[in-house]
Amino acid sequence: MDISEIGGEFALIERLAKEPVSKNIIKGISDDAAVIKVGRSYIVLTADTMVEGDHFSLEYFTPQQIGEKAVEVNVSDIGAMGAKPGYFLVSLVLSEKIQVETIENIYKGMRQAGKKYRIEIIGGNITHGKQLIIDICMIGEARKENLKFRSSAKPGDYIMVSGDLGSSTAGLNLFLKNIEGFSKVKKKHLEPQAKFYKVEPFLKYINAMIDVSDGLASEVKRICEQSGAGAILYADSVPIKPETKKAAIICGKNALEYALYGGEDFELVYTVSKENSGRVKGFKVGEITHKKGIRIIKNGKEELIKKHGYDHFLT
Amino acid sequence: MDISEIGGEFALIERLAKEPVSKNIIKGISDDAAVIKVGRSYIVLTADTMVEGDHFSLEYFTPQQIGEKAVEVNVSDIGAMGAKPGYFLVSLVLSEKIQVETIENIYKGMRQAGKKYRIEIIGGNITHGKQLIIDICMIGEARKENLKFRSSAKPGDYIMVSGDLGSSTAGLNLFLKNIEGFSKVKKKHLEPQAKFYKVEPFLKYINAMIDVSDGLASEVKRICEQSGAGAILYADSVPIKPETKKAAIICGKNALEYALYGGEDFELVYTVSKENSGRVKGFKVGEITHKKGIRIIKNGKEELIKKHGYDHFLT
């Protein structure tokens, strides 16, 4: 059976996941990162893989940007749990033709991003393969009361986003179509940043949280599936920058589609009760509902979202 | 500059490694696994990557054996630190043609090996690439007094090995040359086992420890480099099973070469002071010396070992 036949990579992950046995596993496969209890500490762990050709191209990324991105995407996952990153391990798969200078610059980028968060490389391994692959495993720590799960959204919660969406996908499309200009939009794709700092001041008012790696619709769907709820999104409220809209038009695409089904914006999506909503910052893009399914109000009409975010095995 | 020009993957790792800054990093890049202090706990972390075609072949490995091996090699690294494994994350890179059943069987193998050690999968990710790659990041815990580093060997220490060497490389060579029979030797390659249980009873008498992933000579060299010492090995004392010797002859190779420069035996190499040597089990294969360099006594002659273990970028 092909992966596409069972519904892509996310369906595959669900098929492979099992309920954890150890009571020290606070959160296993099903969130941005895993949480385990060691002694009195809540340790948060995540691993993210970037594959040349699929997640980056050496044609428009500098090696340093690749290194930085590899760290930022993992920091984003740790942050989406309400935790702080601490250390990381780097597994590199290198093709024979890669130059030592390229690898050194990737490491330079990883160290630069690491410096920002005061985190360090503590290990990893280097091996040989057909294409450049960077897999980072990051470990962080959280206070128990700060831990944020996808499963904690409640009907009636507002769905908030920490910043504008769609720009990373717009940037990617500009590169793929060889369109000049739009340096700001392109930069969003080349130099994504984890956004935990935006939500940290009001973390205690957040119920559920997730980072946007596969588009708003996909992330809200994950929150809803795990919280046993549904959601309604307001298309007009989804924050999209004018330059992202312009870039989308030039690419012959719709910026809202980028925001809903694109990815790698690494903004945070979080739900907050109505009574606490005045205490948090961000863009209100929808509401958690008792009614299952993810619906969107667009041009005055309500429709059910059936599309999913980017899936390497379906597209 | 090509990786081969600077001396292969191990030279590259040394080039990329930096001294850790945080005082909570007890051991960074330079050992079988990293050690960090979190609260009062000593957390041990390692990551190991297996690449289709380089580390395994679907032609002679069953998917279940691949999954088991991916877990065992990481358990071996955790064990070589004197620690116990606890949890692991799985990063899978899958090619489009791979079947869902294959992946399910790889997971079955990982869970089966996990069950042996009472450890669980807590996370990871799945992505798309040109070849099947399994990267496992494993986390364990150690008592401070049990931690074993490569850097703690002392001149005068005996060098001991927990079991016979060379069989995994012999097995691999039999497969590569399509030679029938030798099922026991082949099994050593297909189903490697972490050997921590062998040394656990006398852990407190061990000074330095490492697991054999790249041949005895390479591992002793690592211990010596980090301990600021040298070593003398006795060729006649290196434990090699008769069937490994037979297999080597049929492959037109030398079994001692397999033991010294082959890999993936996952036996443990450890050093013990002479006075404690009666309290430990294993095979005495040499001695740590003040004199730098790794020498071997073979057929009554002493020679300096210049060769290194298997390097994907040099062979």
Q: What is the pTM for the complete model shown?
A: 0.94
| Total count of residues recorded for chain B | 315
Task: Supply the pLDDT for residue A315.
Answer: 55
| Total count of residues recorded for chain A | 315
Instruction: Retrieve residue A225's tokens.
Output: 């599936």
In this predicted structure, the answer to whether residue B150 has a pLDDT above a threshold of 90 is yes
The CATH superfamily assigned to A3-145 is PurM-like, N-terminal domain (3.30.1330.10)
The type of residue at B240 is I
The answer to whether the Cβ–Cβ distance between B133 and A93 falls below 8 Å is yes
CA distance B308 to B256: 14
The answer to whether the Cβ–Cβ distance between B100 and A40 falls below 8 Å is no
Q: Are A163 and A211 in contact (CB under 8 A)?
A: no
The type of residue at B112 is Q
Average pLDDT (B205-213) is: 97
DSSP conformation letters of B231-269: EEEEGGGS---HHHHHHHHHTTS-HHHHHHH------EE
Residue B29 pLDDT grade (very low, low, confident, very high; cuts 50, 70, 90): confident
Q: Are A49 and A9 in contact (CB under 8 A)?
A: no
Number of cross-chain residue pairs from A and B with Cβ atoms under 8 Å apart: 222
Q: Which residues of A touch B21 (CB under 8 A)?
A: 120
Which residues, 6 or more positions from A200, have their beta carbon under 8 angstroms from its beta carbon?
none
Q: Are B309 and B214 in contact (CB under 8 A)?
A: yes
Task: Supply the pLDDT for residue B314.
Answer: 67
Which residues, 6 or more positions from B273, have their beta carbon under 8 angstroms from its beta carbon?
B154, B156, B157, B158, B205, B207
Q: Is the Cβ of B36 closer than 8 Å to some Cβ of chain A?
A: yes
Residue B17 pLDDT grade (very low, low, confident, very high; cuts 50, 70, 90): confident
Q: Which residues of A touch B25 (CB under 8 A)?
A: 87, 120, 122
Instruction: Retrieve residue A309's tokens.
Output: 């975010």
The answer to whether the Cβ–Cβ distance between B36 and A87 falls below 8 Å is yes
Residue found by looking up tokens 């006075």 in the block: B275
Task: Classify strands B301-304 and B294-298 as parallel, antiparallel or unpaired.
Answer: antiparallel
The answer to whether the Cβ–Cβ distance between B47 and A103 falls below 8 Å is no
Q: Which residues of B touch A111 (CB under 8 A)?
A: 18
The answer to whether the Cβ–Cβ distance between B51 and A13 falls below 8 Å is no
Q: Which residues of B touch A3 (CB under 8 A)?
A: 94, 96, 98, 100, 103
Sheet strands (E) in chain B: 25-27, 34-38, 41-51, 84-94, 120-128, 133-142, 158-161, 206-211, 230-234, 268-272, 283-289, 294-298, 301-304
Condensed to tens digits (0 to 9), the pLDDT of residues B118-145 reads 999 999 899 999 999 999 999 999 999 9
The residue of chain A with its CA nearest to that of B48 is A125
**pLDDT block averages, 10 residues each, chain A of length 315:** 86 88 93 94 96 92 97 97 97 94 97 97 93 97 97 98 97 96 96 97 98 95 96 98 97 96 94 97 98 96 85 67
The residue of chain B with its CA nearest to that of A21 is B120
The answer to whether the Cβ–Cβ distance between A91 and B47 falls below 8 Å is yes
Of the candidates B99, B90, B107, B133, the one whose C-alpha atom is nearest the C-alpha of residue A6 is B99
Interface of B with A in 165-224 (CB under 8 A): none
Q: Is the Cβ of A235 closer than 8 Å to some Cβ of chain B?
A: no
More confident residue, B122 or B4: B122
Q: Where are the domains of chain B?
A: 3-145, 148-304
In this predicted structure, the answer to whether residue B315 has a pLDDT above a threshold of 70 is no
The radius of gyration of chain A's CA atoms, rounded to the nearest angstrom, is: 19
Select the CATH number that applies to the domain covering B148-304 from these four: 3.30.930.10, 3.40.630.40, 3.30.450.20, 3.90.650.10: 3.90.650.10
Least confident of B2-6, B33-37, B69-73, B163-167: B2-6
CA distance A115 to A100: 22
Q: Which residues of B touch A14 (CB under 8 A)?
A: none
In this predicted structure, the answer to whether residue B309 has a pLDDT above a threshold of 80 is no
